[in-house]
Amino acid sequence: MNHSLPFIITISRQLGCGGAYVGHQLAKNLNIFYADREIIGQAARQLSVLEEDVKTREEKTLSFWQSFLRSYAVAPDTYVQPHTLAPSDYALFKTESEIIRRIAWERSAVIIGRCGSYVLRDHPNHVSLFLHGEIEFRKNRVGKLYEVSEEAAGKMIARNDDERARYNQKFTGREWTDVRQYDMTLDISKTGVDRAVAFILQYMELIYLTP
């Protein structure tokens, strides 16, 4: 690693594995930037949409019919106020990727999701993580977090896994869960979130923070 440049941690994660919590704790302990809200805010401004519109679209692809209806929502000769339509999948991915690259060269940071491990694959000071876990652990955690039944939690997980898999495949051409593309993978159902943070900090100490 080049110690004169910022270092970046990207976290890919399955729903129910505490990705946001782990990311916040790493940023806090390493005294670096947690980039989530910055990416959303900048993307919303550049695309002239609300931040909530960006959040609800991240790591999801529009279905064929959603894309069709978006394209033909109005007749060709009908006036449409600029930027009233939601951005395309490609426009959102391209915009967020540019923001991620800019942040990565300006300051050390933690970046969650958004194909960050792929976007920054050539960054010399990039550590990519993948957090996964057993389904029962994930359902229990999602159920408590969102106050839903075990059945509802299972459906949320299945839908989220499918959306992230399709999004990653579309923009990276890679299987999202292929661990060979990450520097470090952790089974959160075995470590728990706090011990996962401790393991990652030890790893960072070994590969980056020690001269």
pTM here? Answer: 0.85
Alpha carbon dihedral 141, 144, 147, 151, in 10-degree steps, equals 50
Kind and range of the H or E element at 193?
helix 193-204
| pLDDT, tens digit (0-9, with 9 covering 90-100), for 142-166 | 999 999 999 999 999 999 999 999 9
Q: How many residues does the chain have?
A: 211
Tell me the CATH class for 8-209. Answer: alpha beta
- pLDDT of res. 2: 66
Q: What CA–CA distance (Å, rounded) separates 43 from 55? A: 10
| pLDDT, tens digit (0-9, with 9 covering 90-100), for 23-49 | 999 999 999 999 988 999 999 899 988
Cβ within 8 Å of residue 31, ≥6 positions away: none
Paired tokens of 208: 């980056």
- pLDDT of res. 70: 41
Where exactly are the structural domains of the chain? 8-209
CA 121-39-84 angle, 5° bins: 120
Q: What CA–CA distance (Å, rounded) separates 19 from 202? A: 18
Which residues of the chain are modeled with pLDDT < 50? Answer: 63-84
Question: Residue 44's CB: how many other CB atoms inside 10 A?
Answer: 18
- pLDDT of res. 206: 86
- pLDDT of res. 52: 86
